[in-house]
Amino acid sequence: MERNSSKKSAGTKAGALLCPVCCVEYVEVEFDFEVDGIVLHNVRALKCPSCQEERFTPEQTTAIEKRVSDATRQ
Ligand SMILES: [Zn+2]
């Protein structure tokens, strides 16, 4: 029995998300993303290679919100 609940091992697919429609792993992509009139470059997101559906992880969403917040605070 291994206790790995609190250990994050890099290089595994533990964090991989599957497209619920296609049951294939999302791949990470970068693109320019505009929100509230602010263009963010090199925004990371996950994209299903099959149906092209895009989604953000909670971490990516947080990163975007932070960048928007920083951009609007100047
Ligand atoms: Zn899909």
Is 45:31 a contact under the CB 8 Å cutoff?
Answer: yes
Q: Give the pLDDT score at 13.
A: 52
User: How confident is residue 60, by pLDDT bands cut at 50, 70 and 90?
Assistant: very high
Distance of CA 1 to the CA centre of its chain: 31
Is 25:17 a contact under the CB 8 Å cutoff?
Answer: yes
Q: Where are the domains of the chain?
A: 27-72
At 7-40, the pLDDT tens digits run 544 444 556 789 999 999 999 999 999 988 999 9
Q: Give the pLDDT score at 3.
A: 60
Instruction: Name the more confident of 13 and 42.
Output: 42
Report how far ligand 1's centroid is from the alpha carbon of 73 (Å). Answer: 37
Report how far ligand 1's centroid is from the alpha carbon of 50 (Å). Answer: 5
Quickly count: other Cβ atoms within 10 Å of residue 48's Cβ: 20
Report how far ligand 1's centroid is from the alpha carbon of 71 (Å). Answer: 32
Q: Which two tokens stand for residue 31?
A: 């693109």
Q: Give the pLDDT score at 40.
A: 95
Q: Give the pLDDT score at 47.
A: 96
DSSP output for 63-74: HHHHHHHHHHT-
Report how far ligand 1's centroid is from the alpha carbon of 9 (Å). Answer: 26
